[in-house]
Amino acid sequence: MSISTEVILHDALTLPAVERVKIIDQLLSSLDEADTRLDTIWAEEAETRLDAFERGEIRSIPLEDILARYQRAK
């Protein structure tokens, strides 16, 4: 941890529990915010893969085959 992080943590730990919970809630909420850039990249990738599948350039693998490979790899 950086010194500033340690100072913030030290100060936060001196707060009443209710205030610490508010800070925790805010921090956790900030981690859940959607990254629209990443969402866009994944949507484009999904479209590219679907198009390739529909053109016959790639094929699907049955779930049973994937699970069998996973079991063998254990």
Are residues 55 and 44 both part of a single domain? yes
55 and 70 share one domain: yes
41 and 74 in a single domain? The answer is: yes
Residues 17, 39, single domain; the answer is no
41-68 per-position pLDDT tens digit: 999 999 999 999 999 999 999 999 999 9
Q: Which residues contact 12 (CB under 8 A, 6 or more apart)?
A: 20, 23
Structural domain including 69 reads 35-74
Q: pLDDT category, 33, cuts 50, 70, 90?
A: confident
Angle at 66 between CA 59 and CA 57, to 5 degrees: 10
50 and 71 share a domain? yes
Regarding whether 16 and 44 lie in a shared domain, the answer is: no
Q: Would you give the distance in Å from CA 5 to the centre of its chain?
A: 23
Q: How many domains in the chain?
A: 2
Q: What is the pTM of this model?
A: 0.48
